Amino acid sequence: MIYQHTMNTPIGVLTIQSSSYGLTYVGFNPKNEYEEVCNEHTRQAKQQLKEYFLGTRRDFDIALDINGSVFQKSVWQLLKQVGYGQTNTYGWMANFLGKPKAVRAVGGANGKNPISIIIPCHRIIGANGTLTGYAGGVEKKAWLLKHEQQNKLN
């Protein structure tokens, strides 16, 4: 069974979906919508995301249940290492993964990240410092980065 909860945020309605094992989706454009039935994972995600948007949470501690290739999962795991209020590049990610020529593949895996904000793909920018694509739209990415900069601990 897939559990779903939607929540209003400063950047729009966020859909949270989970299995009984963990979150399966957090984002703005779900492929499938389900009846609003919560479980512990959706409730926990809603609470932690609420704290994030209030500026009081910088890290998430939620079980995930995501499907992807080994490469995609390595990219998504690396995204969690980019700290709150920081940015890095697709090139950095490719180099870190030992695949310096895989910049486009890293970008593709980033674009398929099913857990927005919690797996912080919004913190990855172009090599020239530009805000490149974001599943929720570049304006949401800009808002998230500005939000984190304003609430970053010194």
* Token code pair at residue 6: 């939607």
Active site annotation includes 38: no
- Which residues, other chains included, contact 126 with Cβ-Cβ below 8 Å and sequence gap of 6+? 89, 90, 132
What is the H or E stretch that residue 54 is in?
helix 40-54
* Token code pair at residue 51: 């704290």
Nearest to 52 by CA among 135, 133, 143, 126: 143
**Active-site residue, from 23, 94, 121, 144:** 121
Length of the chain: 154
Q: What are the residue numbers of the active site?
A: 121
